[in-house]
Amino acid sequence: MNQWQIGKVKITRVIEMEVKGGSKFILPQATRDAVKPMTWLTPHFADEQGNLIMSVHALVVETPTKKIVVDTCIGNDKQRSIPNWTNLQLPFLEDLAKAGYDRQEIDTVMCTHLHVDHVGWNTMLVDGQWLPTFPNARYLMGKKEYEYWDKVDSDDLNTGLMDDSVRPVFDAGLVELVEMDHRICDEIYLEPTPGHTPGHISVHIESEGEHALITGDCIHHPCQIDMINWSSSADFDADMAIDTRRQLLEKYCDADILVIGTHFATPTAGHIKKNGDKYWLDVS
């Protein structure tokens, strides 16, 4: 578990899984030979052989008035196209409780986008039914994001997610569709970062002059900070995603803003730095 304090806001990482290798299907350009020269990735984000290290985790953002879960991982009991994500039986809720958060106390769930590894714990299987995991929360989803996924046929990666992880919380009357620049509370607002999906957003935290940004998947892995043009196989619009990434890095490089990656392995957060025309993530 990692934890950060941004002014009056506490951010806590709750890990569902952290894995090495097996990520080529998401970032096909990140071969071992291509990754090894990026020595700054070692040891946190890649090993010496060039295998990427990635994490699936949720981030609990606690403000003076809100307890917000940003992205809800893969979830237990879900049937997915990726074998290692199928029918999981992981202690995510127990780990959430160990971090100090009972699921009944969460008042807001924010989905940066509607992919399988970001909405899974929206629901849990109870007596054969998918019920809201956080029954006292408002589930915030981007209006543009939802309208896209509600109309198109899911691709192989995301098959089933609307039926088992999104529509059940709609049926429970818990969903609020929001604009891409929505403000959740005084300290938290959304930043549009489209490309990976049509309505993808990142989450900006600002309190007492301090700032943090939860990326979502506009940056899947820190290697994309160095190699901006490396695209995710799951990108909706790769060119748009590259442009978004470039703008984000330029905006926040050498700035006093903590960047918290939604799939960045431990230590998960750092500051964007620029050396010449190259960017990197300083986790010192």
Q: How far is CA 7 from the centre of its chain?
A: 22
Distance CA 266, CA 54 (A): 9
Burial class (CB within 10 angstroms; exposed 0-12, middle 13-18, buried 19+) of 64: exposed
Amino acid letter, 113: H
- In 3D space, the residue among 169, 211, 208 whose CA is nearest the CA of residue 191 turns out to be 211
Distance CA 2, CA 11 (A): 8
Residues in Cβ contact with 196 at an 8 Å cutoff, skipping those fewer than 6 apart:
113, 216, 217, 218, 220, 232, 234, 235, 236, 241, 244
As a whole-number percent, the residues of the chain with pLDDT over 90 amount to: 93
Average pLDDT over residues 10-14: 98
Amino acid letter, 204: H
* Backbone φ, ψ for residue 29 (5° rounding): -80, -15
Distance CA 76, CA 123 (A): 9
- In 3D space, the residue among 55, 63, 61 whose CA is nearest the CA of residue 11 turns out to be 61
Q: Write b or e for each residue in 69-86: b if 16 or more Cβ atoms lie within 10 A of its Cβ, otherwise e.
A: bbbbbbbbebebeeeebe
pTM of the model: 0.97
- In 3D space, the residue among 86, 72, 151 whose CA is nearest the CA of residue 115 turns out to be 72
Q: How far is residue 160 from each of residues 44, 172, 214, 241, measured CA to CA in Å?
A: 33, 18, 26, 25
What are the structural domains of the chain? 3-282 (3.60.15.10)
Query: What is the number of other CB atoms lying within 10 angstroms of the CB of residue 177?
Result: 16
* pLDDT band at residue 22 under the 50/70/90 scheme: confident
Predicted confidence (pLDDT) per residue in 207-261, tens digit = 999 999 999 999 999 999 999 999 999 999 999 999 999 999 999 999 999 999 9
Asked if pLDDT for residue 118 goes beyond 90, the answer is: yes
Predicted confidence (pLDDT) per residue in 119-167, tens digit = 999 999 999 999 999 999 999 999 999 999 999 877 788 889 999 999 9
Amino acid letter, 208: E
Give the pLDDT confidence score for residue 18 in this predicted structure.
Answer: 95
Predicted confidence (pLDDT) per residue in 41-83, tens digit = 999 999 999 999 999 999 999 999 999 999 999 999 999 998 9
